[in-house]
């Protein structure tokens, strides 16, 4: 489980970095609200927003699945999610070619796998 917490913490720090990036860019471009029609600002906002939209739920599903599956599955899902989100952010900000697409696909696959595992675990539970 320590790997899960390290990855969750690093994802939190990635959210901080992306939030600071948006704030600094707003100051530099003098855009106080919205994206001002600026493509770079749009990309920065979406990189931050997309992370904040998908990561909390994915982490929650992985965490809930940890009650039923071994350390390795949870660790693998956590590391894959962290790598996918780093790729996605790098791709959105123009640092990693194809990072956005690969990161989005891997994130979605990670959520899908964790969700299936959790559903299967739930089917095996007995009611009182």
pLDDT value of residue 125: 81
111 Ramachandran zone, left/alpha/beta (phi>0; psi -120 to 50) = alpha
H helices within the chain, ranges in order? 2-29, 39-65, 71-92, 99-123
CATH hierarchy code of domain 2-122: 1.20.120.550
At 11-46, the pLDDT tens digits run: 999 999 999 999 999 999 999 999 999 999 999 999
Asked whether the predicted pLDDT for residue 65 surpasses 80, the reply is yes
8-state DSSP, 31: -
Q: Which residues neighbour 120 within 8 Å (Cβ) at sequence distance 6 or greater?
A: none
Mean pLDDT on 122-128: 80
Q: What is the mean pLDDT of the chain?
A: 94
Q: Which residues neighbour 51 within 8 Å (Cβ) at sequence distance 6 or greater?
A: 11, 14, 15, 18, 85, 88, 89
Map out the domains of the chain as residue ranges: 2-122
């Amino acid at each position: 489980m320590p790997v899960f917490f390290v990855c969750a913490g690093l994802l939190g720090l990635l959210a901080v970095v992306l939030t600071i990036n948006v704030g600094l860019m707003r100051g530099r471009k003098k855009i106080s609200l919205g994206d001002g029609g600026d493509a770079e600002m749009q990309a920065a906002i979406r990189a931050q927003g997309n992370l904040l939209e998908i990561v909390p739920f994915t982490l929650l599903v992985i965490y809930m699945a940890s009650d039923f599956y071994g350390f390795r599955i949870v660790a693998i899902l956590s590391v894959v999610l962290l790598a996918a989100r780093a790729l996605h952010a790098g791709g959105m900000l123009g640092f990693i070619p194809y990072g956005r697409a690969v990161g989005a696909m891997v994130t979605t696959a990670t959520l899908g796998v964790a969700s299936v595992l959790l559903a299967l675990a739930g089917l095996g539970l007995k009611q009182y």
